[in-house]
Chain A
């Protein structure tokens, strides 16, 4: 069975500082990995995804993530955080056969101080 662990419930950073959100996954085959962002009271928006190829993937809003198979990790990074980045971030791993079913982590809440 697939699973995702996001070890940090809350992360607080100052505006302009760098950010790294951690994600560890468990999956028996080649993982399909995702990061989503959720603003309060809203649905989720896809930031980026990894299926194969280059292990450093670029996403929207200046985010990137690096897939490290040896560490079963898919950490999300941003070099300089903006106040508008304050939100909940979810990592997900998906199986795609026989049907597409993602499993989400519990989320990390990002707080940005001015």
Chain B
């Protein structure tokens, strides 16, 4: 079955550590996105990528970094510069002209 996988489901880190969240898709989609979700805030766009080796900052990119070395993969690193990293992170992809997004199951990150 085609879809998006995110791992792990739950992630715990100490403050000051960088952490990388995985996102893989086998839908052959060119575009991939990372969102952060906080209660009552909806989804806020962190980074997006339209093609391999190219990505753009979204609305809340500070303290985050991404890479897009392969079409299937779009990992997100939450750096120690992110002031409030505890949140639910969602990865999504979309295909050309379908204009809809497919979402992964999410990773809940807790930083203490």
The SS class assigned to the B binding surface is strand
Question: Contact at A105–B42, with CB atoms within 8 Å?
Answer: yes
In which size bucket is the chain A interface?
20 to 34
Residue in chain A with minimal CB distance to B6: A43
Question: Contact at B106–A43, with CB atoms within 8 Å?
Answer: yes
Question: Contact at A44–B42, with CB atoms within 8 Å?
Answer: no
Q: What's the Cα separation between A105 and B102 when bound, in Å?
A: 17
Question: Contact at A102–B101, with CB atoms within 8 Å?
Answer: yes
Verify if A99 is at the interface (C-beta below 8 Å from B): yes
Which of A57-114 touch B at CB < 8 Å?
90, 94, 96, 99-102, 104-107
Which of B79-107 touch A at CB < 8 Å?
88, 90, 92, 94, 99-106
In which size bucket is the chain B interface?
20 to 34
A90 to chain B, nearest CB (A): 7
Which of A4-63 touch B at CB < 8 Å?
9, 32, 34, 36, 41-46, 49, 51
Give the chain A neighbours of B108 by CB distance below 8 A. 41
B: residues with CB less than 8 A from A are 4, 31, 40-43, 45, 48, 50, 88, 90, 92, 94, 99-106, 108
Some 6 contacts from A to B, beta carbons below 8 A apart, are: A9-B40, A46-B102, A101-B48, A102-B101, A104-B43, A106-B40
A: residues with CB less than 8 A from B are 9, 32, 34, 36, 41-46, 49, 51, 90, 94, 96, 99-102, 104-107
